Structure 1
Amino acid sequence: MMFKILILQAWYALSDEALEKQIARDLMFRRFIDLSLSEAVPDHSTIWRFRQLLNTENLLEALLEQINHHLEQNSIIVSLGSINIIDVSVIEAKQSRKRKGRNGNNTQDPEADYNVKIATDGKRKTTYGYKMHANTDEDGFVKKMTYTPGNVHDSKEFDKLLGINKHKNKNKIKTCGEVYADSAYANKKNDEKLGKQNNKVLHRAYRNTPLTDRQKQENKQRSSIRYIVERTFGLLKQHHGLAKARYLGLERNKTRAQLIAMSHNLKTGMNIFKQMRSLGDCYAQ
């Protein structure tokens, strides 16, 4: 029941207090978590403690894998021939500016950091916060994710997102399918890990070495696939409140992001299941 409560929280972007009130007065919420009218609603402190327990016991990554495995068993996620689309999204910290608190202390989140991005118009955009790194498939399901301070380079989480199996004498990739990513991930080490067949990382132009016409065409095609992960981040921010961190500290915000990723996968899975059932009804007629 408690896990279902956290999924509801992620779906509707509710605080612990607001979630407690919503369960108390919404019959649909009660029905979803199998809570009868005569049963007491878990209070916000209980919700908080259960969420912290999932983190301290390191259960969240396994839960995401279990959800994805369940969706795969029901033919909603396609694993054979699945592709990997990797990207990162910057999340503003709850306290992003340096301000003095009541005791004169700096209230800025000490575990976040600055991310500097050059926009298409050449201007620098600086954000104090965190980064969510994600690997999605072609349907936008989050396969793996990590969470870091904003100053960590995108490529640092590449191995974790792809589940690279490291050996003493070799470094092989543990994945089936092509890997799409922007040019921030383009380097010699990643090229060797992926091999020519799986490497769909955008080509990078260097000083005195512009892109060839073929590379430009390949980048255009790869970008048309890569937008899927950008769309996923857009949904997580627009509908689940991921644009800004809710808590202070990396671990608590990482836990929230992991639960949001799970809720997104379940919601996406339900939508695909409805489409499959609708098509089945059409063929039956």
Structure 2
Amino acid sequence: MTQSGFFDVEERLARLSGLGDQLEAFSQTVDFEVFRPELNKALAYSDRSKGGRPPFDPVLMFKILVIQTLNNLSDERTEYLINDRLSFMRFLGLGLSDRVPDAKTVWLFRERLTQAGAIDVLFNRFDATLRNAGYLPMSGQILDATLVAAPKQRNTNEEKADLREGRIPQDWQDKPSKLSHKDRHARWTLKFTKAKRQDDGSMPATDLAIPFFGYKSHVSIDRKFRLIRKWKATDAAASDGARLREGLLDKTNMASTVWADTAYRSKANEDFMDKHGFVSKVHRKKPHLKPMPRHIQRSNAGKSVIRSRVEHVFADQKSQTGLFIRTVGITRATMRIGLANIVYNMRRFLLLERINASA
């Protein structure tokens, strides 16, 4: 085996470029320096007048979070792959002899941003970048929510009763290490899905209700570019419709039309949209114990053609980046969902730029 040299590494990187390195496309299209002011403000590092090892560059660390989110990696796996993959090193601007952040450093960086509540500011910073590039929210907006799984909790009936009452079980209070691993914010809910056709070809009369534990990601995308413009994270049992009145609507969209499924249909929401100048295209519900009128069926079908575009966003996040909550608590879950939304917008930005370049 011959000893590798500088030109061997360059040749391998050139080959990776030829094979289509997604991270290289990120570096060429996304200006990560735009995040630096917000990162510096959130991290609030000292001036190191007392000495000590300087922290890693915040933009480099943020790019590590992007790698994590793109590939659904744990902190330990992230550390290993940065050391192992030339494509990761190139994206981060690291050489073979450069120091690589370990798993604990990655965790501390993300935790510091989480506790500073920086994810909203970072999301808005990239949204401003999209607008400056010409991708203004237009043609109306589409609202929807998706369930995001979290590790199931093995709680006793007594512990469940305490949690429902908003209390911390006494056993958890006596064992801080146990409490730190218990997610008191994630909730159980039922996920309804269509039943499969039977062997005889008939369809069951009722849908399936599957228990689900975790959180919920609520988004509003613009109809034109399908970019996420507003978002919110809640526990899985939270109502979809109530979020509409809690800042999920994008008032900067150049059109006033709002599409959403029947979960968002309520008098309170219709009054709210009418008061703020929005035009509702929310699906109408089936009358109780009555067949759906034909004209409402046709109306809902027409709305579904447009509303279904938001489903592609969630499908992309779950199939391409494996959206899943590994952490404990709503604050960290919000950070995870927010990062997934930023990375989705980055990937969408790459696609839109590629389409424009070939037009």
Band the TM-score falls in, shorter-chain normalisation: 0.7 to 0.9
Alignment partner for residue 188 of structure 2, among 107, 111, 114?
Answer: 114
Deviation, structure 1 residue 275 = 1.5
Kindly provide the CA deviation profile for residues 76-102 of structure 1, in whole angstroms up to 9, marking residues without a partner as x.
x232x34211111112221245489xx
The residue that corresponds to 1:189 in the other structure is 268
Q: 1:14 and 1:117 mapped to 2: Cα distance?
A: 26
Q: Secondary structure at the match of 1:205?
A: coil
* Structure 1 residues not aligned, in runs of 5+: 165-172, 280-285
Kindly provide the CA deviation profile for residues 206-239 of structure 1, in whole angstroms up to 9, marking residues without a partner as x.
2266543332212111111111111111111111
Alignment partner for residue 36 of structure 1, among 63, 70, 95?
Answer: 95
- Quick check: 1:179–1:200 contact (8 Å CA) kept in 2? yes
Alignment partner for residue 358 of structure 2, among 260, 278, 281?
Answer: 278
Q: How does 1:214-229 map to 2 (within 5 A)?
A: 214-229=295-310
Q: Give the letter aligned to residue 187 of structure 2.
A: D
Kindly provide the CA deviation profile for residues 216-269 of structure 1, in whole angstroms up to 9, marking residues without a partner as x.
212111111111111111111111121x32122222122111111111110111
Q: 2:288 and 2:234 mapped to 1: Cα distance?
A: 30
Residue 134 of structure 1 pairs with residue 219 of structure 2 = yes
- Quick check: 1:93–1:109 contact (8 Å CA) kept in 2? no
Q: Give the letter aligned to residue 264 of structure 1.
A: Y
- Quick check: 2:232–2:248 contact (8 Å CA) kept in 1? no
Q: 1:52 and 1:41 mapped to 2: Cα distance?
A: 18
Q: 1:163 to 1:202 in 2, by over 3 A?
A: closer
Q: 2:278 and 2:147 mapped to 1: Cα distance?
A: 30
Alignment partner for residue 113 of structure 2, among 50, 54, 72?
Answer: 54
The residue that corresponds to 2:122 in the other structure is 63
* Structure 2 residues not aligned, in runs of 5+: 1-59, 160-174, 195-205
Identity, in percent, stands at 28
Higher relative contact order (CA 8 A, sep 6+): 1
- Quick check: 2:222–2:253 contact (8 Å CA) kept in 1? no
Q: Secondary structure at the match of 2:246?
A: helix
Q: 1:108 to 1:124 in 2, by over 3 A?
A: farther
**TM-score of the pair, normalised by structure 1:** 0.84
Alignment partner for residue 319 of structure 2, among 220, 238, 245?
Answer: 238
The residue that corresponds to 1:282 in the other structure is none
CA RMSD of aligned residues (A): 2.5
